[in-house]
Structure 1
Amino acid sequence: MMADALALPPLRGTLERGGSLADFIWFRTGGPAEVLVRPADVEDLAAFLKELDPSVPVLPVGVGSNLIVRDGGVPGVVVRLPKAMQKVSVEPGNRVRAGGAAMGISVASAARDAGIAGLEFLRGIPGTVGGAVRMNAGAYGRDTSDILVEVTVVLRNGSVETWPAGRLGYSYRHSELPQGAVVVEALFEGTPGDPAAIGAEMDRIAAEREASQPLRSRTGGSTFKNPDGHKAWELVDRAGCRGLRRGDAQVSEKHCNFLLNLGEANSADIEQLGEDVRRRVKADSGVDLEWEIQRIGVAK
């Protein structure tokens, strides 16, 4: 890491060299960002990226609910959007507009209150709109690509563009958003519905998550993608990995597709435990599990 060497353009928001990521990443592990940037608004971010040396990598991070930050930290600039970009508003045509920093539950709740159905599944996604749009997050039979109309992004060169959903090249848990692009706003569309019925479905999703997932633990959400024709957790369980440990990193006994930090694990422990699981599943069923959690930064 070369924090002192990186020349940085002016910013109205805050800029922190060696900014901690472990303070907010769900696993509570990992090294610092070379530079952690919190822009004041879209214009501030766009101006900063336009002037930033094009060779410097840029990585947007939301709440880190699906992230392993390696112990050596993250070179370049990590962008966290400010609270000002958490706004959610309802528009005609059963549409909901949300800032990139808004949480899934905020979008689902606004849709419920407006009688807009189809966005309930966002209640079950514990991340930001930006993260959901980038990775085509989904739950309970629906994906972000099912409801997205358009997205506003600040590209790595500082240009601000609004793209129709079709331009994102969506597939399962994947989009073709370019490297360094930051999602600053998204427009979603549902269908007319009864607020009471929508609320009941959101409550059902919340109760199901509480019953089946280790929500009160230091975790990173779903670890592996579901392979075609399989559920990842079933393959992990069948390979004898439920409760498997490496130091203080553990495969959740409650839901085998979740890894846990029991307290003193570092990111290397967690990532290596995931690789242990992948090897065991491959040996048991012949299936190559793909990581769903994004792993970023450099090993120590």
Structure 2
Amino acid sequence: MLNLLKQQFASVGKNQDATDLLTEDLVLVEQRVEPAKRAAQVIHKKLAGCLQSQQGLDVEKRTKKLPLMMLSVSMAESFKDFDGESPMRKVLEMCCFMQTLLAKTLADFEVQLEKEVLEPLNKLSEEDLPEILRNKKLFAKLTTDWQTARNRSQASSGPQAKQDGLREEVEEAWRKLESIKDQYSADLYHFASKEESYATYFIRLLELQAEYHKNSLGCLEKNITELKENHNQSAPRLRNLSGQVYGVPLLSHLQNSNRQIAAPIQECVHMLLHRGLREEGLFRLAAAASVVKRLKVQLEQWKHRPQRV
């Protein structure tokens, strides 16, 4: 038996490591295991850090804890103070509804991401690949044990009983090495056969992201269009009530307010006729900016008034 072992491993030097007992294709596969473990571990950690809610929650509980849902709740509380005809209330109501939809869409995305990407990556980095690496370590140790026993047997020149004992030690070391080598080789072949499926975890990540952004964009575009239509329909009615003065063509202002003279000019002339002669420094002292701003706002909000005769 010892002669057979010597013939099989005559080319194995004293300082050669465990990989010398593997075929070239398995050596190549072996070099990918540790990088795969590191990649899965790091990406799982960073990807989990991108989640906006706690892992392990269902969609309903996750939605409630998302920042978007907190924003929706704040909007709902804010519009309660407005009257039912307020444009801001109507816009806030729609925004509140949209934030809730976006939060639900995000929660659905995170649940899928956790199930289809995070959990497989965690299993890969914490269970599957560590088992292969443990067998690799054991394979290296048993290779060293076998080489050590073989070297002692080759160097022995003592009694026959001692040589027989060393020969048995070599045989036992080889049996253990052969057993773990078979297991380790099977692990490496299994990893090689599954490596392409492991790569699809990252493709699935991109697919889920694309689907999430598409759904979010669709929700926003649909509801923003509806919001603008409703807002534009109410805006002319409000402008007609107030008689918009600034920011519109002069002709539009005159037509909408049923005037022949622009409201600011008419009011200024009216003031000059009634109070101008008693105001000291009327054309010498500039009015404060806050006063001018307040007067402009008052004119914007002024309801239709009959023209002064």
Task: Using structure 2 for the length normalisation, give the TM-score.
Answer: 0.17
Task: Using structure 1 for the length normalisation, give the TM-score.
Answer: 0.17
Q: Considering fraction of residues, name the structure with more strand.
A: 1
Q: Considering fraction of residues, name the structure with more helix.
A: 2
Specify the structure having the higher radius of gyration (Cα): 2
